[in-house]
Amino acid sequence: MTFKKRELSKLQEALQTHTKMGDPKKLSSSIRNTTFLTNIALHPVVSTKVRIAEKQALNENAIINGVPTIAGSRPFGCLRLLKDLCIQLCSMNELLIEPQMVYENIVFRMSRMTAGTDAYMKLKKIIRSSNLSLMRCEVDPNVVQEAICVDVFESDGDLLAVISIVCTFGVIQNAQLSSSKADLTTIGFVTNGRGTGGGVKPWIHFDVVVTERINISTGDSVRFARVVM
């Protein structure tokens, strides 16, 4: 058995025990102390639906190369700044790539929904036990979300980008789901059959940071999720 498999087995046994004992603090500690949860490999984002991505990104708080943008604002939002930055970087560094292609490659990777879904599909197989399930937390429209961070820069003749998105997750006791007559959707949200969570709250919650590092010039990329307790 490899080290990672031993850690996974140890984690899932601890989750089951602490859930049975009703001890959320020890459960949180077990997740926090599982070292491989700081680097969970994810598949790169593959999408051609730029218009949909633009609509989502327009309503996000973002920090582009250290500059905060205003959600919902066309003149001061992230899309305008990102497009101008792509043009400037390609021109200044005499890069043989189209600024529009650079812009599109970045903007469709800025989807918080996509990041959360991809992380959930991987983590639900890890953070689970017979009496506990991973869930995604609904976005509260009254709470400002953590800004999406985008850094774009030239290095040794290549254009690189790093995109980081924070998504909120939780764990829920399966008995709580049953007593509330609720269930989990295929992408991790709680539903009571009428499209809502039915007031079901996570037992504990935590953030997952999804980061993708891209070499836009070559098309190479690496993407991973990191659990933050």
pLDDT in tens, 26-44: 999 999 999 999 999 999 9
How much is the pTM? Answer: 0.92
The helix (H) or strand (E) run that includes residue 30 is helix 24-32
- pLDDT tens-digit series, residues 113-168: 999 999 999 999 999 999 999 999 987 767 778 999 999 999 999 999 999 999 99
Structure tokens at 75: 């003149």
- Chain center to CA of 115: 4
E-assigned strand segments in the chain: 40-42, 62-64, 67-68, 132-136, 148-155, 158-173, 183-184, 190-191, 204-215, 220-228
Cα–Cα distance, 175 to 163 (Å, whole number): 37
The residues near 155 (Cβ < 8 Å, ≥ 6 apart) are: none
